[in-house]
């Protein structure tokens, strides 16, 4: 098959012919991945590249370069990508798509401080420009621990890779964590900005690549019926939950000392909060979104009494389904005295006209009851009820729940009369499910984000100002925790430590059990 017959969307049999929107297809380009042997690369990045190619969204000459400390040839790397794609890609395997992609795969063995390896990388990039028509356009994806960021970007600069030939683009893609506190984030940003201009840097927060997260903006700003009640006059509080049933798996090296709050509250949950709380942006472009998200993050107020309004926990071992599940301190590679949080709950206020007095409760944890991420906007009770109190005994508060994952969709909870001769009102739900309303399937977050990088579309990437503001919110909480004892224990499979329930009970509220 000739190269021009692949990659073009209008020829792609997978494309839905009813979709009349112009496809966003990347122009001539390539992707270099550092840390290509890691889990993220195998499970997410390589499959996402294949899925994009399979959907006809990559140019025919698209090229993929792996860089790692392995004694591999190009074909060994291609085999690794092949296995990752067969195991993890979302779309069906098609030999002709694979062949086309595999022809553009190169591998560069070496350490990050190895000048020879970076010279080889430069040669590989130039060779691909000549043989595959990548046009000098390359994105460098740093899927490596943050301690290596400075070295890698410095090497890219030193070897003339951060800047391509006239008319071409070079972009740096950085995976979180963006530092471990405000100071380290600032240092990191300084190092990155020494090499790349701000608009060349793409920070990945993969939650922003999720369809349901982008839908927060559609729900709020493409409709008329939600926005009038989306404020302190109607909303009682907001609960943002990201619960996982898995433990830390083989990630002890990354996770210990970092913990749940730094791992996901600083980024994913504060981004969800910003999108939920922000004002309507002037447009859907990166600067307008940044302006509004930043206003929310700057208005966030951390409560004074952190002992009462935050909780951190650590999972203890438990028997689940006849099997003993290890506690955090028993996991491989974890120091038996570790005080790392695997659960974190915080109450935040947004001090502005729209949200004054409305608490935002954020919680996350590993080894909880089930995997679920949701944003619940919980409304105030009716100011007056014409029904006698027995009629509404079982009535909860109205809520709009954005189900980020799984069972992607939106639930509206409200009271309804129970059929029968007496007046009794109980909660019912009205559900929108992506799976039922749309025939199109949702791309993986990484497909969307990699495509956006190649297109230079920065809307869904946090800027350094947001990263720094988010650390300003978390730093005092982490400092408080560091000075105050150990995390509370909770059983694996539960909904977190009792202290978290007590934290909400003190405010006269309770956590949802999604």
Catalytic residues: 268
Q: Is 244 annotated as a binding residue?
A: yes
Question: Which position has the token pair 């978290």?
Answer: 500
Contact between 156 and 195 under an 8 Å Cβ cutoff? The reply is: yes
Nearer to ligand BG6, 137 or 373 (CB): 373
Residues 68-127 that bind ligand BG6 (CB under 6 A): none
| Strand ranges inside 149-259, DSSP E | 170-175, 201-204, 235-243
Nearest Cα to Cα of residue 445 among 206, 265, 128: 206
Q: Is 163 annotated as a binding residue?
A: no
| Closest approach of ligand BG6 to the CB of residue 457, in Å | 21
Contact between 185 and 146 under an 8 Å Cβ cutoff? The reply is: no
Q: Is 69 annotated as a binding residue?
A: yes
| Closest approach of ligand BG6 to the CB of residue 40, in Å | 9
Nearer to ligand BG6, 63 or 241 (CB): 241
Contact between 342 and 315 under an 8 Å Cβ cutoff? The reply is: yes
What are 93's two structure tokens? 């395997």
Nearest Cα to Cα of residue 360 among 443, 237, 447: 237
Nearer to ligand BG6, 156 or 449 (CB): 449
Residue 310: phi and psi, rounded to 5, are: -140, 155
| Closest approach of ligand BG6 to the CB of residue 263, in Å | 5
Max intra-chain CA distance, the chain = 84
| Closest approach of ligand BG6 to the CB of residue 402, in Å | 14
Confirm or reject binding of residue 211 to ligand BG6 (CB under 6 A): no
What are 352's two structure tokens? 């502005």
Q: Is 305 annotated as a binding residue?
A: no
Give, to the nearest 10 degrees, the angle between helix 286-299 and helix 464-483: 20
| Closest approach of ligand BG6 to the CB of residue 496, in Å | 16
Alpha-carbon distance 367 to 314, whole Å?
9
Strand, helix or coil for residue 105: strand
Rg (CA), the chain: 24
Residue nearest to ligand BG6 (CB): 263
CA angle, 438 then 443 then 445, to 5°: 130
Nearer to ligand BG6, 237 or 262 (CB): 262
Confirm or reject binding of residue 264 to ligand BG6 (CB under 6 A): yes
Sequence-distant (6+) residues with CB within 8 A of 278 are: 292, 293, 295, 296
Q: Is 112 annotated as a binding residue?
A: yes
Nearer to ligand BG6, 196 or 446 (CB): 446
Task: List the x/- string, 181-210, binding to ligand BG6 by CB under 6 A.
Answer: -------------------------x----
| Closest approach of ligand BG6 to the CB of residue 371, in Å | 7
Nearest Cα to Cα of residue 292 among 350, 357, 241: 350
Alpha-carbon distance 132 to 59, whole Å?
10
CA atoms within 13 A of residue 319's CA, in its CB half-sphere: 1
CA angle, 222 then 227 then 233, to 5°: 175
Contact between 203 and 176 under an 8 Å Cβ cutoff? The reply is: yes
| Closest approach of ligand BG6 to the CB of residue 248, in Å | 8
What is the size of the binding site for ligand BG6 (CB under 6 A)? Answer: 5
Residues 365-424 that bind ligand BG6 (CB under 6 A): 373
Task: List the x/- string, 234-263, binding to ligand BG6 by CB under 6 A.
Answer: ----------x------------------x
Nearer to ligand BG6, 232 or 251 (CB): 251
Sequence-distant (6+) residues with CB within 8 A of 316 are: 327, 328, 489, 490, 491, 492
Contact between 197 and 153 under an 8 Å Cβ cutoff? The reply is: no
| Closest approach of ligand BG6 to the CB of residue 75, in Å | 32
Nearer to ligand BG6, 263 or 447 (CB): 263
Q: Is 263 annotated as a binding residue?
A: yes
Measure Cα distances from 422 to 381, 391, 418, 492 in Å.
22, 8, 8, 43
Confirm or reject binding of residue 488 to ligand BG6 (CB under 6 A): no
Contact between 490 and 343 under an 8 Å Cβ cutoff? The reply is: yes
Strand, helix or coil for residue 116: helix
Nearer to ligand BG6, 258 or 455 (CB): 258
- Binding region for ligand BG6 (CB under 6 A): 206, 244, 263-264, 373
Residues flagged as binding site for NADP(+): 69, 111-112, 176
Residues flagged as binding site for substrate: 206, 210, 244, 263, 366
Residues flagged as binding site: 69, 111-112, 176, 206, 210, 244, 263, 366
């Amino acid at each position: 098959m000739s190269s021009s017959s692949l990659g073009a969307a209008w020829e792609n049999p997978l494309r839905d012919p009813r979709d009349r929107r112009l496809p966003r297809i990347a122009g001539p380009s390539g992707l270099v991945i550092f840390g290509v042997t890691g889990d993220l690369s195998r499970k997410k990045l390589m499959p996402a590249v294949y899925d994009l190619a399979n959907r006809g969204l990559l140019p025919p000459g698209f090229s993929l370069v792996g860089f790692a400390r392995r004694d591999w040839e190009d074909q060994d790397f291609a085999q690794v990508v092949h296995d990752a794609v067969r195991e993890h890609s979302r779309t069906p395997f098609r030999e002709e798509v694979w062949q086309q992609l595999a022809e553009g795969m190169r591998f560069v063995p070496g350490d990050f401080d190895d000048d020879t390896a970076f010279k080889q990388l430069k040669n590989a990039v130039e060779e691909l420009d000549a043989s595959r028509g990548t046009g000098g356009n390359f994105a460098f994806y740093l899927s490596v621990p943050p301690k290596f960021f400075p070295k890698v970007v410095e090497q890219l600069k030193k070897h003339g890779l951060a800047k391509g030939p006239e008319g071409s683009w070079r972009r740096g893609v950085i995976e979180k964590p963006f530092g471990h506190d405000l100071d380290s984030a600032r240092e990191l940003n300084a190092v990155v900005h020494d090499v790349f201009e701000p608009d060349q840097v793409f920070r990945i927060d993969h939650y922003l690549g999720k369809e349901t997260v982008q839908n927060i903006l559609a729900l709020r700003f493409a409709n008329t019926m939600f926005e009038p009640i989306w404020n302190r006059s109607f909303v009682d509080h907001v609960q943002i939950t990201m619960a996982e049933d898995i433990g830390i798996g083989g990630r002890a090296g990354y996770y210990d000392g970092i913990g749940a709050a730094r791992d996901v509250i600083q980024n994913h949950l504060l981004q969800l909060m910003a999108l939920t709380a922000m004002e309507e942006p002037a447009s859907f472009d990166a600067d307008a979104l940044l302006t509004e998200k930043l206003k929310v993050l700057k208005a966030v107020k951390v409560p004074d009494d952190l002992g009462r309004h935050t909780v951190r926990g650590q999972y203890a071992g438990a028997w689940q389904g006849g099997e003993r599940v290890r506690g955090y301190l028993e996991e491989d590679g974890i120091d038996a005295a570790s005080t790392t949080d695997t659960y974190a709950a915080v109450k935040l206020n947004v001090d502005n006209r729209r949200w004054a007095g409305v608490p935002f409760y954020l919680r996350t944890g590993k080894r909880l009851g089930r995997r679920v991420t949701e944003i619940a906007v919980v409304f105030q009770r009716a100011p007056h009820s014409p029904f006698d109190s027995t009629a509404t005994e079982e009535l909860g508060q109205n809520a709009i729940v954005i189900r980020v994952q799984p069972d992607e969709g939106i639930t509206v909870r409200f009271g309804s009369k129970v059929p029968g001769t007496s007046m009794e009102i109980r909660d019912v739900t009205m559900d929108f499910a992506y799976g039922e309303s749309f025939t199109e399937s949702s791309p993986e977050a990484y497909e969307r984000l990699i495509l956006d990088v190649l297109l230079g579309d920065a809307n869904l990437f946090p800027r350094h100002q947001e990263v720094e503001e988010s650390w300003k919110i978390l730093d005092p909480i982490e400092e408080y925790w560091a000075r105050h004892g150990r995390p509370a224990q909770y059983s694996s499979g539960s909904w977190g430590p009792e202290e978290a329930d007590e934290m909400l009970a003190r405010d006269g509220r309770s956590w949802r059990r999604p």
